[in-house]
Amino acid sequence: MGTPTSSSSSWNIGFALLVLSLLYQAVHGGERCNFYKGNWISDESYPLYNTSSCPFIEKQFDCQNNGRPDKQYLKYRWQPTACNLPRFDGGDMLSRLSGKSIMFVGDSLSLNQWQSLNCMLHTGAPQANYTLRRTGELSTFTFPEYDVKVLFYRHAFLVDIISRSGMGRVLKLDSIEGAKVWSGSDVLIFNSWHWWTHTGRKQPWDYIEEGSKTYKDMDRLVAFEKGLNTWAQWVDSNVDPTKTKVFFQGVSPDHSNSSIWGEANGNRCEGETEPVGGPTYPGGADPAEAVVEKVIGKMRKAVHLLNITTLSQLRKDGHPSFYHGHGHAVMDCSHWCLAGVPDTWNQLLYAALLYN
Name the site residues for ligand NAG (rule: CB under 6 A): 36-37, 50, 52, 64, 71, 74, 127, 129, 145, 257, 259-260, 293, 305, 307, 310
Q: Which is nearer to ligand NAG, 157 or 281 (CB)?
A: 281
Q: Which is nearer to ligand NAG, 90 or 178 (CB)?
A: 90
How buried is 283 (Cβ within 10 angstroms: 0-12 exposed, 13-18 middle, 19+ buried)? middle
Work out how close the CB of 43 gets to ligand NAG at its nearest, in angstroms, rounded to a whole number: 14
Instruction: Give how far Cα 160 sits from Cα of 169, 172, 270, Å.
Output: 10, 6, 35
Q: Tell me how crowded residue 280 is: count the other CB atoms within 10 A of its CB.
A: 13
Provide the pairing of β-strand 245-249 with 304-306: parallel
Cβ-contact 182, 105 below 8 angstroms: yes
Minimum Å gap between C-beta 117 and ligand NAG is 19
Least distance to ligand NAG, CB of residue 174, Å: 25
| Dihedral (CA of 233, 238, 240, 244) sign | negative
Q: CB of residue 129 vs ligand NAG: minimum separation in angstroms?
A: 4
User: 108-124 and 341-355 helices cross at what angle (nearest 10)?
Assistant: 70
- Smallest gap, in angstroms, from Cβ of residue 23 to ligand NAG? 23
185 and 102 Cβ atoms separated by less than 8 Å? yes
Nearer CB in complex with ligand NAG: 33/179: 33
Q: Which is nearer to ligand NAG, 156 or 303 (CB)?
A: 303
The length of the chain is 356
Distance between CA atoms of 270 and 309, rounded to whole angstroms? Answer: 20
Geometric angle at alpha carbon 289, from 149 and 341, rounded to 5°? 50
Task: Give 149 or 172: the residue with its C-beta nearer to ligand NAG.
Answer: 149
284: left (phi over 0), alpha (psi -120 to 50) or beta: left
CB 199 to ligand NAG: min, Å: 15
Nearest CA to 277 out of 36, 39, 34 is that of 39
* Local structure of residue 250 (DSSP, 8 states): P
The SS3 assignment for 106 reads strand
Which one from 108, 185, 192, 252 is the annotated catalytic residue?
108
Instruction: Give whichever of 178 and 253 is closer to ligand NAG, judged by the CB atom.
Output: 253
Q: How far apart are CA 224 and CA 233, in angstroms?
A: 14
Q: Is the distance from CB of 274 to CB of 314 less than 8 angstroms? A: no
Q: How far is the CB of 190 from ligand NAG (least distance, A)?
A: 15
**DSSP 8-class letter at 321:** B
Our answer to whether residue 332 is catalytic in this structure is yes
Task: Between 156 and 308, name the residue whose CB sits nearer to ligand NAG.
Answer: 308
**Catalytic annotation, residues:** 108, 332, 335
